A = this chain, B = another copy of it.
Amino acid sequence: MQRSAKIIRLIESEILGGKMPVGQRLESEEKLCERFGVSRTVIREAIQQLRGRGLLRTIKGSGTYIAESNLDTLANAMEAYSALAEDLDFLELIDFRILIETECARLAAIHAGEAVIRELRSLMDAMRQSKADRAEFSRLDIAFHLVIARGSGNRIYATVLRALEKKCIDYARKNRGDSDWFQSIVSTHQAILDAIENGKADVAAEAMHKHLLSSRRQYVDLTDGQG
């Protein structure tokens, strides 16, 4: 194994074990060289990998510090996982997404303020006028879901869904775009929005759940037909 590997494990365990509080400065690269008996090359490699994982941040001329928790790191990981996922993993991701989005709809019905609802209404209007432009329609569709996620008040949900967005576009595009499909999407979204406006959490959750399950079914049908 690489020399940097065990150094990474050690520093990682010190951070995760709580021995090094957030914001604390790491020893300088040179000190770490002495301590581990390796060259600066190896130390720097270890630090780079831990930076990539979001555990450290570095300030030139000053030092390397334990990073604060950061949603972007989580988003990166989710996005990477979904982007690299093969078919087998993909259904699990879809179920994951359904679970979270359903909860988001429920929470949005409880927490969403006037601003969020206005935004959702405006997106619905735009979607009705974008029947012809499939790319734009798809973009608005995703935006609708993301606004609801934000309206849930839980940033983790919003972050995870934002990360899954790209892949969702990919398989959403595969759906046939006939008029029935368009109308069904619009009316389902409207049902979700109505429930959120009226603060009916369970209704909103169920409507969202139904919506996503039908989307899931289409994906399954498509891939079964192919593979």
- Chain A, residues 26-52, CB within 8 Å of chain B (1/0): the string is 000000000000000000110011111
A156 and B77 contact, Cβ closer than 8 Å, known pairs A51-B52, A52-B52, A69-B85: no
Q: Once the chains are docked, how many angstroms separate the CA of A115 from the CA of B77?
A: 32
Q: Are A95 and B154 in contact (CB under 8 A)?
A: yes
* Interface residue SS majority, chain A: helix
Residue in B69, B73, B76 whose beta carbon sits within 8 Å of that of A86 in the complex: B69
Residues of A in contact, count (CB < 8 Å): 46
Chain B residues whose CB sits within 8 angstroms of the CB of A210 once the complex forms: none
Q: Once the chains are docked, how many angstroms separate the CA of A188 from the CA of B82?
A: 35
Per the 8 Å Cβ criterion, residues 35-85 of A in contact with B are: 44-45, 48-55, 66-71, 73-74, 76-85
Residue in B48, B71, B166 whose beta carbon sits within 8 Å of that of A16 in the complex: B166
* 4 A-B pairs with least C-beta separation: A52-B52, A77-B77, A49-B52, A69-B84
25 A-B pairs with C-beta separation under 8 A: A15-B83, A16-B166, A18-B83, A44-B45, A49-B52, A51-B52, A53-B53, A53-B80, A54-B77, A54-B81, A67-B84, A69-B82, A69-B83, A69-B84, A69-B89, A70-B84, A73-B81, A74-B77, A74-B78, A74-B81, A77-B78, A92-B154, A92-B156, A93-B156, A96-B156
Interface residues of A (CB under 8 A from B): 15-16, 18, 22, 44-45, 48-55, 66-71, 73-74, 76-86, 89, 92-93, 95-96, 99-100, 103, 154-157, 166
